[in-house]
């Protein structure tokens, strides 16, 4: 039986694998993690609103009944498109007849890799745990230090980049400071914490039309977020950020500005765009290798002069489309070009605050937030997760508590860099 | 106002703090973590049955309305009982009028500290995440390796020590192999995994009477656990364990054999027992320092020739008693000796399998399991957790799924020691 190897089990890889369920093929799905992640809610794990298992479904469990499919938890370190093999971290090689590369994207620090240590991004559960720890520990440190300037730096949170993730993170951080933690500290009031959202461009949520951007900005400020537009970060260190000549002392900085395609794109040795994404043929295959498909955030697809955005509905559609094109090739038929169906764009900001664009319809505030809520719960993989997430949210909504306020790692005599004690 | 410092916020520390709620004192609670942990259910996090937040309540949240109390997340590195100060990891010192030391216990490897890297114990959330990762990754590795002996070693799980934790862990591991993961792998059947429970003594659950121990052993074997009694481990390495001349090739080993008191006991410079526990006066204070109390797993208390066991009801009772004795001292009254009220002993083994001793009543099997279930859910801190835990358990019970099957860390080109690839 022809063997299809799928690298990465995000939305693209998972939908490709599921589309091959009844096909007379041998499917191998390889992912570095053991779970499919519902990335649109990852910011909720990072901000202590949800526990990790609520948004992570074991890949093996999701595909258990798909008997033609083998799941491997492994890191792919190389692709040989001439020999038609992929190589794992342990040296094992798997031959393929068709390959789907869906390894997604990672953070880009615009030529400043040293910023990563001080300003983590949010792509994986590991990232979310790191951010959750930093945020919760910052408030804890503020209760410990005795110097006012040091306390103020621990209580200043900077989010860099006002795309969907940056806006969500800033909105949630403001809610944590204003509501969740209010009244729990003895040496300061958490409401006085500052959340600053820095955006290099002239408006927040640049994927939305001007008027919705402006409404989003107003909703953010109402929630307590300070928005700085046209503010490009020029330096980040352990103690804060600089915007040109202006310095902000902040012990917690979150990166939501740049995305770079997975390095596996380079392994294919084909033309890439500026963000490192693979420029694919209209049918999603790569140049001179019709048996290799690239999908999701790793693929640069332009249809009628318009770029397909790096969002989960696009990845799902590409996954299904690549699987169908493989089936066509196996039947000796011609492949078909990918068409992107845009169902709309949503961005949440905070409690009752969101913006949405559904075809000609523009929403903001409470109606947009309700739309966002139901769309996301509906699309969560697996019934159980959906139920638990709803219960958690209902609880959080009414009580203002965030139940996942857990720092896994204890304080230790030798504390980590981020937790390093002030001389104050 | 007199200042009471409480070190550690397990059951002992938390109950002491809450007993001081209305007292005219200034309370400082110091813990290395930010959460009070419901340790009796920690094995459920380690075996992917519950998410961490379900059994961890933020200390700050629990004590938020107790206005005389300050909570600090910090590591106490020293106690000066003459100067009456405690010292934190950052050098800060706090003076106290009364001190309650409730820093609990940690693992003891019987003079073999090198075993720890290969056989983690289960005391903290960090431990639970480590064990969960090892167990889930072992099955993943078994799907990857091509050599049968290597696969068999990945599919062999050894639990050392058949006290309550060891029995729970072994029972859950057997359930995972037999039910949860069954049918999910293509190169082996998870039911064939071996779970071996090693006990140095002649029976499991030595805290129970002979007949209940025997019933527990039979229930374990019915669940699929192989029980080896009178089997003392003589060596542990990355590849397995040795019992005298017998070797078991096993890539996952869990330590549930020895407990040692927290090293803070030594800092008090008073007589300790063999396990490093502080030998306290009948009123729980220490020799020559009536203002210092030691409670919970760190305290060695003997009443009428009988040792008070290291269980959570005992810690709670000691916490409350120490707080009351401090109040008596502040009023100029004499302190009272501690009395332990034993409500019974429960140990769970697995689905519908448990043993219980409630006064003269001995239970085993389904009735014992139901008793255990309701007792534990009832005592969970906080209503929300209780509800979520019940929902999770009901779901797990009917569906045999364990929803927290998440490995946070991805596989990486350079994999960690435990995940190191076989040469096979």
Question: How many domains does one find in chain B?
Answer: 2
Specify which residues A101 forms β-bridges with. Answer: A7, A294
Mean pLDDT of B299-304: 94
Q: How much is the pLDDT for B382?
A: 65
Bridge-based pairing state of the strands A76-80 and B93-95: unpaired
Are B265 and B279 contained in the same domain? Answer: yes
Residue bearing the bigger pLDDT, B299 or B396: B299
Q: Do A72 and B143 touch (CB under 8 A)?
A: yes
pLDDT in tens, A148-159: 999 999 999 999
Distance of CA A204 to the CA centre of its chain: 18
Kindly report the nearest CA distance between residue A359 and chain B, in angstroms. Answer: 37
The 10s digit of each residue's pLDDT in B6-27 is: 999 999 999 999 999 999 999 9
* Spatial separation of the C-alpha atoms in residues B106 and A100, rounded to whole Å: 48
Residue B358 lies in a domain: no
Share of chain B above pLDDT 90, in %: 80
Q: Which of A239-248, B46-55, B187-196, B213-222 has the lowest mean pLDDT?
A: B46-55
Question: Residue B409: what pLDDT?
Answer: 87
Q: Which two tokens stand for residue B10?
A: 């397990």
* Beta carbons within 10 angstroms of residue B36's beta carbon: 25
**CA–CA distances in Å: residue B357 to residues A3, A124, A167, B303, B373:** 58, 46, 55, 20, 14
> What is the pLDDT at residue A119?
97
Q: What is the DSSP letter of B272?
A: B
Within a domain: residue B198? yes
Question: Helix (H, G, I), strand (E, B), or coil: what is residue A197?
Answer: strand
Same domain, A229 and A190: yes
Residues B237 and B281 in one domain: no
B100 and B127 belong to one structural domain: no
Same domain, B238 and B138: yes
| pLDDT per residue as tens digits for the range B233-286 | 999 999 999 999 999 999 999 999 988 899 999 999 999 998 899 999 999 999
B419 pLDDT exceeds 50? no
Residues 6+ apart with CB under 8 A from A93: A85, A86, A87
Question: pLDDT (tens digit, 9 = 90+) per residue, A329-360?
Answer: 999 999 999 999 998 889 999 888 999 998 88
CA distance B353 to B364: 7
B177-207 pLDDT tens trace: 999 999 999 999 999 999 999 999 999 999 9
The CA distance from B230 to the nearest CA of chain A, in Å, is 36
User: Is residue B150 within a helix (H) or strand (E), and if so which, with residue range?
Assistant: helix B148-154
In B176-314 the beta strands, taken as DSSP E runs, fall at: 194-198, 225-228, 235-237, 240-243, 246-249, 252-255, 259-261, 278-279, 285-286, 289-294, 299-300, 302-303, 306-307
- Interface mutation target, options A8, A34, A138, chain B, most CBs of B under 10 Å: A34
Predicted structure pTM score: 0.93
Name the pLDDT band for A417 (thresholds 50, 70, 90).
very low
Same domain, B101 and B49: yes
Q: How far is CA B392 from CA A54, A60, B346, in A?
A: 11, 20, 21
CB-count exposure of residue B85 (10 Å: 0-12, 13-18, 19+) = middle
Residues B45 and B175 in one domain: no
Q: What is the CATH number of the domain that holds A374?
A: 3.50.50.100
Where is B399: in which H helix or E strand?
A: helix B383-399
Whether A57 maps to a domain, the answer reads no
**Both tokens assigned to B67:** 């206005």
**Yes or no, beta carbons of A51 and B56 under 8 Å apart:** no
Which H or E run includes A175?
helix A164-175
**Backbone Cα Rg of chain B:** 22
In a domain, B169, yes or no: yes
Q: Under DSSP, is residue B330 helix (H, G, I), strand (E, B) or coil?
A: helix
Structure-block tokens of residue B400? 């045999």
**Residue B283 structure tokens:** 């009123």
- pLDDT tens-digit profile of B71-85? 999 999 999 999 999
Contact A419, A137 (CB under 8 A): yes
How much is the pLDDT for A413?
A: 65
Instruction: Identify whether the C-beta of residue A119 lies closer than 8 Å to the C-beta of residue A166.
Output: no
Task: Examine the fold and report which residue of A330, A365, A380 is the final residue of a domain before the chain moves on.
Answer: A330
Contacts of B140 in chain A (CB under 8 A): 34, 72-73
Report percent pLDDT > 70 for chain A.
94
Same domain, A98 and A155: no
Q: Considering only CB atoms, which chain B residues are within 8 Å of A126?
A: 408-410
Confidence (pLDDT) at A419:
40
User: What CATH number corresponds to the domain at position A312?
Assistant: 3.50.50.60
Q: Which residues pair with A194 in a beta bridge?
A: A156
Options B140, B143, B168, B184, the catalytic residue? B168
What does the pLDDT look like over A272-330, one tens digit per residue? Answer: 998 899 999 999 999 999 999 999 999 999 999 999 999 999 999 999 999 999 999 99
Work out the average pLDDT over B151-179.
96
pLDDT for B399 beyond 90: no
> Is B168 an active-site residue?
yes
Q: Cβ(B345)–Cβ(B208) under 8 Å?
A: yes
Residue A129 falls inside a structural domain? yes
| Rounded Cα distance, B400 and B208, in Å | 29
Contact status, residue A142 vs residue A154, Cβ threshold 8 Å: yes
- Name every chain B residue with its beta carbon within 8 A of the beta carbon of A91: 421
Going by C-alpha positions, the residue among A55, A24, A53, A51 that lies closest to residue A38 is A55
Q: Where are the beta strands (DSSP E) in B108-255?
A: 156-160, 194-198, 225-228, 235-237, 240-243, 246-249, 252-255
What ipTM was reported for this prediction? 0.92
Q: Which tens digit of pLDDT belongs to each residue from A15-55?
A: 999 999 999 999 999 999 999 999 989 999 999 988 898 88
CB B76 within 8 A of CB B7: yes
If you write DSSP's letter for every residue of A235-276 in order, what string do you get? EEETTEEEETTEEEE-SEEEE-S-EEE-THHHHT-S-B-TTS
* Residue spans of alpha helices (H) in A288-347: 312-330
pLDDT for residue A381? 66
Strand pairing category for A26-31 and B225-228: unpaired
Cβ contacts of B411 on chain A, cutoff 8 Å: 32-33, 73-75, 89
Best residue of B55, B77, B406, B409 to probe chain A, by most A CBs closer than 10 Å: B406
| A123 and A219 both lie in a single domain | yes
- Choose the final residue of a domain: A277, A307, A330: A330
What distance in Å separates residue B104's CA from the closest CA in chain A? 14
Taking residues B352-375, report their average pLDDT.
91
**Which residue do the tokens 């949440």 mark?**
A348
User: Which residue of A lies nearest to B420 if distances are taken between CA atoms?
Assistant: A90
Do B131 and B175 lie in one domain? The reply is yes
Instruction: Please report, for residues A52, A129, A137, A175, the alpha-carbon distance to residue A47 in angstroms, rounded to integers and kept in the order given.
Output: 11, 9, 12, 10
Same-domain pairing of A146 and A222: yes
**Would residue A422 count as lying in a domain?**
no
Catalytic option among A114, A126, A140, A168:
A168
Question: From CA A166, how far away is CA A173, in angstroms rounded?
Answer: 11
CA-nearest residue to A70 within chain B is B186
pLDDT band at B376 (very low <50, low <70, confident <90, very high): confident
What is residue B218's three-state secondary structure?
helix
Model pLDDT, residue A384: 61
Instruction: Yes or no: say if B257 and B166 are a contact pair by the CB < 8 Å rule.
Output: yes
A44 within some domain: no
Q: What is the residue range of A282's domain?
A: 3-32+74-107+259-330
Beta bridge mates, B254: B159
Residue of A nearest to B410 (CA): A33
pLDDT recorded at residue A420:
41
CA closest to A184 among chain B residues: B64
Residue A392 lies in a domain: yes
Query: Does residue B234 share a domain with residue B130?
Result: yes
| Three-state SS at B259 | strand
- Domain C-terminal end among B301, B330, B359: B330
């Amino acid at each position: 039986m022809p063997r299809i190897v799928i690298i990465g089990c995000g939305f693209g890889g998972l939908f490709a694998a599921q589309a091959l369920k009844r096909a007379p093929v041998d499917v191998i799905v390889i992912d570095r993690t053991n779970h499919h992640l519902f990335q649109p809610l990852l910011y909720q794990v990072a901000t202590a609103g949800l526990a990790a298992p609520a948004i992570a479904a074991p890949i093996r469990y999701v595909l258990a009944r798909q008997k033609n499919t083998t799941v491997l938890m492994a890191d792919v370190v190389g692709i040989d498109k001439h020999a038609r093999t992929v190589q794992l971290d342990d040296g094992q090689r798997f031959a393929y007849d068709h390959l789907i590369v869906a390894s997604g994207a990672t953070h880009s620090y615009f030529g400043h890799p040293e910023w990563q240590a001080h300003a983590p991004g949010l792509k994986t559960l590991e990232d979310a745990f790191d951010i959750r720890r930093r945020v919760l520990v910052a408030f804890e440190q503020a209760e410990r230090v005795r110097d006012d300037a040091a306390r103020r730096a621990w209580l200043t949170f900077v989010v860099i980049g006002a795309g969907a993730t940056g806006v969500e993170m800033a909105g949630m951080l403001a809610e944590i400071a204003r509501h969740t933690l209010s009244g729990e500290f003895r040496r300061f009031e958490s409401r006085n914490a500052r959340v600053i959202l820095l955006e290099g461009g002239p408006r927040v949520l640049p994927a939305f039309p001007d008027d919705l951007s402006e409404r989003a900005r107003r909703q953010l400020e109402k929630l307590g977020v300070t928005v700085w537009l046209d503010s490009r970060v020029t330096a980040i260190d352990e103690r804060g950020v600089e915007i040109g000549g202006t310095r902000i002392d902040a012990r917690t900085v979150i990166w939501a500005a740049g995305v770079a395609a997975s390095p596996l794109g380079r392994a294919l040795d084909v033309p890439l765009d500026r963000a490192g994404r693979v420029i694919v043929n209209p049918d999603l295959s790569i140049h001179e290798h019709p048996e290799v498909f690239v999908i999701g955030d790793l693929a640069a697809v332009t249809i009628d002069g318009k770029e397909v955005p790096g969002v989960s509905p696009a990845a799902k559609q590409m996954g299904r489309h690549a699987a169908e094109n493989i089936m066509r090739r196996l039947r000796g038929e011609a492949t078909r070009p990918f068409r992107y169906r845009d169902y709309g764009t949503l961005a949440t900001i905070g409690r009752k605050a969101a913006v949405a664009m559904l075809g000609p319809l523009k929403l903001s505030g409470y109606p947009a937030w309700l739309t966002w809520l139901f769309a996301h719960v509906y699309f969560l993989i697996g019934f159980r997760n959906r139920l638990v997430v709803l219960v958690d949210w209902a609880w959080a909504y009414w009580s203002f508590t965030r139940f996942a306020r857990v720092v896994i790692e204890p304080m230790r005599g030798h504390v980590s860099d981020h937790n390093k004690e002030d001389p104050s």
